[in-house]
Amino acid sequence: MAKLVRDLMHAGLITCKTDATLGQVAVLLNQHHVHALVVTDRDGREVGIISDFDLMAGEWLSSDTESLETMRRLTAADLMSHPINSVEAGTPVAQAVTALIEKQISRLLVTENGKAVGIISLSDFVSSIARSDKAKRETVGDVMSDAILVCRGKTPVASAARAMTSSGWRSVLVVDAKGKVLGVVSGYDLLRFVQNGVDENLIVRDVMHPALTIDINASLREAANMMIQNHHHRLVVIDAQDPDAFPLGAISTFDIVAAMARPDSVWQRS
């Protein structure tokens, strides 16, 4: 039988009130180790979602004392996403996956008979692969993206940002002259330059972070475990027999979710 949303969802809701400050939201996200909270009104009704991405706006816009004070006065209601995208608990997983991909979102509120009962997110889909022992495993090479965005370590940060924007990628892989992976530059690495701009002499090697790599023949379960343990959404795919060679591709949480949605996936077999 095909899996349903209720089989994978995270039961229960972690919430905050509409008048919660951004500082209070940050504390709750940190305490519960989650990426988002459901925002409720004074009557306990779910009215929005506030995520760690929303919260970062506070950092982007707090460039001086005056703007910091303005941002500190904002509440969850000011930054939350609404209306909430939801799905019934009895919905097949394939339909939930399609909703995530089409709407380009990371989570759905799960309802049952009109009442909110939990959340299902990208992490839940990835975790389900890591937990399952019976399903047949496909390899990283079967679902990875062969096309990757790369640049040299001496590439100006501004040029890398333009390349990410024009290509629609959220990160760029940094390699040396022989194609060996040096690191990765992601949107997170560039956030600090949003307000004050980038020094024209700053290069990607100055801002990159270490890349996580995985062998092309590794199982999806191994990839899922690595993503979960390191809180990464993308891994660089390499040939473990020649780790210093040019990377073969990349695999992301969306690649895994899309594989689960395929008609021939073990997740869709009755």
Global pTM reads: 0.53
- Per-residue three-class SS string for the chain: CCCEHHHHCEECCCEEECCCEHHHHHHHHHHHCCCEEEEECCCCCEEEEEEHHHHHHHHHHCCCHHHHHHHHCCEHHHHCECCCCEEECCCEHHHHHHHHHHHCCCEEEEEECCEEEEEEEHHHHHHHHHHCCCCCCCEHHHHCECCCCEEECCCEHHHHHHHHHHHCCCEEEEECCCCCEEEEEEHHHHHHHCCCCCCCCCEHHHCCECCCEEECCCEHHHHHHHHHHHCCCEEEEECCCCCCCCCCEEEEHHHHHHHHHCCCCHHHCC
- pLDDT higher than threshold 90 for residue 6: yes
At residue 59, the pLDDT reads 55
Q: Could you tell me whether strands 107-112 and 115-121 are parallel, antiparallel, or unpaired per DSSP bridges?
A: antiparallel
Residue-averaged pLDDT of the chain: 83
Q: Within 10 Å of residue 227's Cβ, how many Cβ atoms?
A: 25
What is the pLDDT confidence band of residue 243, given thresholds at 50, 70 and 90? confident
Q: Say what the pLDDT of residue 13 is.
A: 94
Residue 270: pLDDT above 80?
Answer: no
Q: Taking each helix axis from N to C terminus, what angle separates 253-261 and 220-230, rounded to the nearest 10 degrees?
A: 140
| CATH code for the structural domain at 140-260 | 3.10.580.10
Which amino acid, residue 254? F
Before 156, cis peptide (omega within 30)?
A: no
| pLDDT tens by residue, 42-93 | 999 999 999 887 876 655 555 667 777 777 788 999 999 999 999 999 999 8
pLDDT tens digits for range 121-157: 887 877 765 555 444 447 888 888 888 899 999 999 8
Please tell me if the domain spanning 5-131 has the same topology as the one spanning 140-260. Answer: yes
Cα gap 210→232, rounded to integer Å: 11
Q: What is the pLDDT of residue 61?
A: 58
Name the CATH code of domain 5-131 (choices 3.60.21.10, 3.10.580.10, 1.10.8.60, 3.40.50.300): 3.10.580.10
How large a percentage of the chain has pLDDT more than 70?
85
Q: How confident is the model at residue 200 (pLDDT cuts 50, 70, 90)?
A: confident
All structural domains of the chain with their residue ranges: 5-131, 140-260
Alpha-carbon span 115 to 131, nearest angstrom: 28
How wide is the angle at C-alpha 152 spanned by C-alphas 148 and 153, nearest 5°?
A: 125
